[in-house]
A and B are shown apart, each in its own frame.
Chain A
């Protein structure tokens, strides 16, 4: 630690299943450069063993510790206290929005994971395919001859769904992460099934271009770009179908 500890007032959302939520307040001396997850773990270890939260890898790979920190979606394991508050300041911790609260900071992401599965999301892909088209790293250009694979960017943390205003009011909305996954899978292996998952009222067309998904994504997935790219594909196809001869259409069908 390079400076004196900070006094930070934690205000944590607490809710047992089926009970009324309340805010638990406690003041903690913290190292400003420690991560929020470290402080939460200390609260659990030293102050309140009933606090529930999710965590696993502690290095932004598992996506388990997504929560709202002072109103903004963050991965608690990579967010330093210094970046979100100040000495003597408040730190409000809430569960992600748009997911049912199971307990305290733990939300039920079951439906989201099922939707990701339905899109055929594969967490490993060829390095070239795993990149966004506008950011092909130079190293890939240099090693064009080599075939390499890597983990894709989306860690299924759900931050984008929590931040999305459209997901706020529509239970049926497919959501930014899943739409991004559909675009990602479609780019590798186009299929009508993927189009059908995205091209409907609660899919691509529910997005209202607030771009919050891209803003909060801790992993550089850029779901908003992917949604717009998928829209472009669907719109282009629709426009082309207007000029396509009917005989061709029947043949395609």
Chain B
């Protein structure tokens, strides 16, 4: 029957319309978790190049020096920072710490995330 809880309702998780800041935290945690999982798979495939010999691995390393891959690496850093800091907030809340200040904690931690990501972006793209 429509309107009931169903596993295939999951796309609604990513719909922030009419929702509060908490849902943005929820969405960010899911998106970054999926991104990090995808990265882990790609990382394993990349390491698999080692088994094909030095030339194959060197060729792959040359490919990932492309600016597009650098941007991808920055996204991985961003996902790690956002997921990690947001995770700390949720873990603390689960111990009853800072529950009533979860909104301001979320804003503060995301501000820290932006600074950390900006620092890495500067380091990665300014030093060639």
A residues neighboring B (CB under 8 Å): 21, 68, 70-72, 95, 97-101, 107, 134, 163, 165, 167-171, 173, 208-212, 215, 224-225, 228-229, 231-232, 235
Bound form: Cα–Cα A227–B126 in Å = 46
Residue B102 at the chain A interface, CB threshold 8 Å:
yes
CB A85 to nearest CB in B, in angstroms, measures 13
Distance (whole angstroms) from the CB of B8 to the closest CB of chain A: 8
A209 touches B96 (CB 8 A): no
The interface residues of chain B lying within 8 Å CB-to-CB of A72 are 18-19
The DSSP consensus for interface residues of chain A is loop
Select B4's contact among A100, A163, A232, A235, beta carbons within 8 Å: A100
Nearest neighbor of A13 in chain B, beta-carbon distance: B3
A229→B13 contact, CB < 8 A = no
Q: B residues within 8 A CB of A173?
A: 5
> How far does the Cβ of A251 sit from chain B's closest Cβ, in whole Å?
27
Say whether chain B's binding surface is mostly helix, strand, loop, or mixed.
helix
**Cβ 8 A contact of B22, one of A21, A171, A210, A228:** A210
Q: How far is the CA of A212 from the CA of B13 in the complex (A)?
A: 12
Count residues of chain B with CB under 8 A from any CB of chain A.
Answer: 30
A75 to chain B, nearest CB (A): 15
For the complex, is B53 an interface residue (Cβ under 8 Å from A)?
Answer: no
- Chain B residues within an 8 Å CB radius of A167: 5
Q: Does residue B17 face the partner (Cβ distance < 8 Å to A)?
A: yes
Q: How far is the CB of B76 from chain A (nearest CB, A)?
A: 23
24 pairs from A and B in contact (CB 8 Å cutoff): A98-B3, A99-B3, A100-B3, A100-B4, A101-B1, A163-B19, A165-B26, A167-B5, A168-B9, A168-B10, A168-B12, A168-B13, A169-B10, A169-B13, A171-B4, A210-B19, A210-B26, A211-B22, A211-B103, A212-B20, A212-B23, A224-B99, A225-B99, A228-B93
B84 contacts chain A at the CB level, 8 A cutoff: no
- The docked-state distance in angstroms from the alpha carbon of A194 to that of B3 is 29
Residue numbers in B under 8 Å from A235 (CB-CB): 94-95
The interface residues of chain B lying within 8 Å CB-to-CB of A225 are 99-100
B2 close to A209 (CB less than 8 A): no
Known interface pairs A209-B26, A228-B94, A235-B94; A70-B18 also in contact (CB < 8 Å):
yes
A95: chain B residues at CB < 8 Å are 3
Residue of A at shortest CB range from B102? A211
Closest 4 CB pairs of A and B: A71-B18, A211-B22, A232-B96, A210-B26
Q: How far is the CA of A231 from the CA of B94 in the complex (A)?
A: 6
Q: Which residue of A lies closest to B8 (CB)?
A: A169
